[in-house]
C-alpha cells in the first residue's frame, strides 16, 4: 500500500530534534509544522488542521501529558505520538489511557519513527476510505425527495420506525420500496441488528421455502448439509419480504405462523425454531384482488397491512426528478471515483420532462451509465437522448393514432412497442414480464415469437 502523505506537528523544546525529525519526514513527502512549547503547539492546532502530533513529554511550562489533554480537548480524534527520554512506565500508561496512539523513547530511532508514522498514515488512509464507503452505502439507501408525496412517506417511515408494527409498502416496480424499508429499519430499535432482504419473485418457486426457512441435510436432492434461511439470519433484526405477492400459498402459511408466534421449522426438519424479527413487506401487485381470487391469504394480508405505505411513481412526484439527479450524480462520483459531472441545461430539462416509466431504478441506472460512458464533465442532450428509450417511442406512438392504417396493423405496432417496453423494464426476463402482465409465460413467449421480437 502506498504511504499516505500527512500533515505533522512536532512539539518539542529541543530545536535539534525538531530539525532532525523535519528532515526525515519531509524527505518522505510529509508536510511538517513545529512548536517549541506546549502552549505554542495548542495555539497552532487552533489555526491549522493536522493529521498527527509528535509530542515531547518534558516541556517548559505545560508538560506533555497536560498538552495531550489539551489536544484531545481540541480534537478528540487527532492522533498523537508521545516521545520522551525520561518517561516512566506510569507516564506511558497515562498517555495511552488519555488517547495517545504510540509512545517512543529517546534517543529516537529514525527507523522506528518512520515505521510508526507509516503505520499511522496507512491506518488514517484506510479509515478515510472506510468512511467514504460507509457514507456511500448510507447514500445508496437514502430516501431523496421534497415533493408533498415523499414528505408524507418519510413522515410515516419516521413515525412507524420506533414501533414494532408490521408495514406493507406498495408501489410500482422501481419506486424505491426497499429504500423505505431501510429507512424504517434505521429508525427502529433494531437498527444495529441485521437487515435481511428476501425477494420472492427472484427465486424459483420450488426453492423459496428452503431459502426463507432453511433446510436440513438430505431434505431434498442437493441438500448436502444444513442451511440457515433468511428468517434465521434476520433474528433480532428486520426481515424485508419484497414482492410478497409472488409467494406461494404454502410459504404464506409458514410466514403467518412466524408472525403469530415466532416459530418455524426448516425444510425437512422436525425441530421447532424460535426467532424474534420485525417483518416488513412490499409488493407491486393488487393484493386485495388476489385475496378474492384465492391467490393470497386474507389473514396474512391483514397481518401485514397494519401500516400501509403507498409509494407514488416518479412521474407524480413534482420536483423530485431534479433532486434525484443531483443525488445520484454525487453518489456515483464517489462510488466510481470519477470527477464530478453535471447535466447541461437542455439535458436537465429533457430529463425533468421525461416520464421515467422505470421510476427511480431507471433514473439511477441512467445516471450511472452516463457517468461511465460520457467523456465530458458536462453531459449534454445529445448524450442523454439515446438512452431514453421512451422518448423515441413516444414520438412514434403518436403516429399510431394519427396515421391512417388498418386496425390489425395498428394493433400489431402497439403490441410490439408495448411488449418491448415491458421487457426492458424487467431486464429482458420473460418470466417476470409475464407475471407483471398477468400472462402465462408460454402465452407471452408465443406472442413474442408471433411479433418477430425473438428472445430478448
Domain range 391-450, CATH architecture:
Orthogonal Bundle (1.10)
Nearest residue to 280 (alpha-carbon basis) of 400, 174, 397, 196:
196
What average pLDDT does range 169-196 have in this prediction? 92
pTM value is 0.59
Q: Strands (DSSP E) along 40-199, which ranges?
A: 52-56, 79-84, 102-105, 167-170, 195-199
Distance, in Å, from the CA atom of 378 to the CA atom of 374, rounded to the nearest integer, reads: 8
Task: Find the largest Cα–Cα distance for the chain.
Answer: 100
Residue 261, helix vs strand vs coil: helix
Distance of CA 17 to the CA centre of its chain: 48
Each residue's pLDDT tens digit, 231-254: 999 999 999 999 999 999 999 999
pLDDT of residue 92: 76
Q: Which residue has the cell 429504500?
A: 179
Q: Given pLDDT bands bounded at 50, 70 and 90, which one contains residue 136?
A: low
pLDDT of residue 391: 39
Each residue's pLDDT tens digit, 284-334: 999 999 999 999 999 999 999 999 999 999 988 888 999 999 999 988 888
Cell of 282: 412490499
Each residue's pLDDT tens digit, 340-386: 999 999 999 999 988 888 899 999 999 999 988 888 899 999 899 88
Q: Domain spanning 315-387: which CATH class is it, in words?
A: mainly alpha
The percentage of the chain sitting over the pLDDT mark of 70, rounded to a whole number, equals 90
pLDDT of residue 456: 41
Checking if the pLDDT of 133 tops 80, the result is no
Checking if the pLDDT of 395 tops 50, the result is no
Contacts of 244 (CB under 8 A, 6+ apart): 200, 281, 282, 283, 304
Geometric angle at alpha carbon 122, from 137 and 125, rounded to 5°: 35
Checking if the pLDDT of 132 tops 80, the result is no
Distance of CA 358 to the CA centre of its chain: 19
What average pLDDT does range 57-80 have in this prediction? 89
Nearest residue to 54 (alpha-carbon basis) of 70, 68, 72:
68
Checking if the pLDDT of 335 tops 90, the result is no
Are 7-137 and 148-312 equal in CATH topology?
A: yes
What average pLDDT does range 389-409 have in this prediction? 53
Identify the bridge partners of residue 79 per DSSP, sorted by sequence position: 52
pLDDT of residue 453: 74
Q: Where are the domains of the chain?
A: 7-137, 148-312, 315-387, 391-450
Most confident of 218-227, 261-270, 413-422: 261-270
The percentage of the chain sitting over the pLDDT mark of 90, rounded to a whole number, equals 39
Please tell me the least confidently modeled range out of 10-14, 205-209, 261-265, 450-454. 450-454
Cell of 119: 503505520
7-137: CATH superfamily:
Response regulator (3.40.50.2300)
pLDDT of residue 139: 55
Residue 418, helix vs strand vs coil: helix
Q: By the 8 A CB rule, do 275 and 230 touch?
A: no
Is the model more confident about 194 or about 95?
194
Distance, in Å, from the CA atom of 216 to the CA atom of 214, rounded to the nearest integer, reads: 7
Distance, in Å, from the CA atom of 12 to the CA atom of 21, rounded to the nearest integer, reads: 10
Q: Given pLDDT bands bounded at 50, 70 and 90, which one contains residue 410?
A: confident
What average pLDDT does range 10-15 have in this prediction? 91
Checking if the pLDDT of 402 tops 50, the result is no
Q: How far is CA 256 from CA 117, 230, 282, 300, in A?
A: 58, 15, 15, 6
pLDDT of residue 389: 61
Mean pLDDT of the chain: 85
Q: Domain spanning 148-312: which CATH class is it, in words?
A: alpha beta
Q: How far is CA 66 from CA 37, 60, 73, 303, 344, in A?
A: 12, 12, 11, 61, 55
pLDDT of residue 140: 60
Q: Strands (DSSP E) along 246-347, which ranges?
A: 263-264, 273-274, 278-283, 307-310, 342-343
Amino acid at each position: 500500500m502506498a504511504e499516505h502523505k500527512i500533515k505533522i506537528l512536532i512539539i518539542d523544546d529541543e530545536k535539534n530534534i525538531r530539525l532532525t525529525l523535519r528532515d526525515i519526514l519531509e524527505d518522505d513527502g510529509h508536510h511538517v509544522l513545529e512548536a517549541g512549547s506546549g502552549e505554542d503547539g495548542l495555539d497552532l492546532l487552533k489555526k491549522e488542521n493536522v493529521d498527527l502530533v509528535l509530542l515531547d513529554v518534558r516541556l517548559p511550562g505545560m508538560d506533555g501529558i497536560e498538552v495531550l489533554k489539551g489536544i484531545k480537548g481540541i480534537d478528540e480524534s487527532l492522533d498523537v505520538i508521545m516521545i520522551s527520554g525520561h518517561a516512566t512506565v506510569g507516564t506511558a500508561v497515562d498517555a495511552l489511557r488519555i488517547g495517545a496512539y504510540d509512545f517512543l523513547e529517546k534517543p529516537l530511532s529514525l527507523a522506528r519513527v518512520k515505521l510508526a508514522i507509516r503505520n499511522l498514515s496507512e491506518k488514517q488512509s484506510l479509515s478515510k476510505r472506510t468512511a467514504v464507503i460507509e457514507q456511500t452505502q448510507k447514500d445508496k439507501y437514502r430516501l431523496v425527495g421534497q415533493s408533498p408525496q415523499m414528505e408524507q412517506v418519510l413522515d410515516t417511515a419516521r413515525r412507524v420506525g420506533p414501533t414494532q408494527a408490521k408495514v406493507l409498502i406498495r408501489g410500482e416496480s422501481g419506486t424505491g420500496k426497499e429504500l423505505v424499508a431501510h429507512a424504517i429499519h434505521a429508525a427502529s430499535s433494531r437498527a444495529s441488528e441485521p437487515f435481511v432482504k428476501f425477494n420472492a419473485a427472484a427465486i424459483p418457486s420450488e426453492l423459496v421455502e428452503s431459502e426463507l426457512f432453511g433446510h436440513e441435510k438430505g431434505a431434498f436432492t442437493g441438500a448436502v448439509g444444513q442451511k440457515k434461511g433468511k428468517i434465521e439470519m434476520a433474528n433480532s433484526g428486520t426481515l424485508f419480504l419484497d414482492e410478497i405477492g409472488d409467494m406461494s400459498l404454502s410459504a404464506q402459511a409458514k410466514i403467518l405462523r412466524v408472525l403469530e408466534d415466532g416459530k418455524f421449522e426448516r425444510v425437512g426438519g422436525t425441530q421447532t425454531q424460535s426467532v424474534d424479527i420485525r417483518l416488513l413487506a412490499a409488493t407491486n401487485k393488487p393484493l386485495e384482488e388476489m385475496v378474492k381470487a384465492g391467490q393470497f391469504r386474507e389473514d396474512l394480508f391483514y397481518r401485514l397491512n397494519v401500516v400501509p405505505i403507498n409509494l407514488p411513481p416518479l412521474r407524480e412526484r413534482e420536483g423530485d426528478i431534479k433532486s434525484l439527479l443531483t443525488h445520484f450524480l454525487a453518489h456515483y462520483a464517489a462510488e466510481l471515483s470519477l470527477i464530478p459531472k453535471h447535466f447541461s441545461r437542455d439535458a436537465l430539462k429533457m430529463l425533468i420532462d421525461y416520464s421515467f416509466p422505470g421510476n427511480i431504478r431507471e433514473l439511477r441506472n441512467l445516471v450511472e451509465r452516463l457517468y461511465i460512458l460520457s467523456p465530458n464533465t458536462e453531459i449534454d442532450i445529445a448524450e442523454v437522448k439515446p438512452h431514453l428509450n421512451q422518448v423515441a417511442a413516444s414520438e412514434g406512438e403518436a403516429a399510431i393514432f394519427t396515421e391512417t392504417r388498418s386496425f390489425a396493423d395498428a394493433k400489431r405496432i402497439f403490441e410490439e412497442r408495448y411488449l418491448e417496453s415491458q421487457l426492458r423494464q424487467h431486464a429482458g426476463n420473460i418470466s417476470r414480464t409475464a407475471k407483471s402482465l398477468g400472462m402465462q409465460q408460454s402465452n407471452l413467449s408465443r406472442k413474442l415469437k408471433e411479433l418477430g421480437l425473438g428472445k430478448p
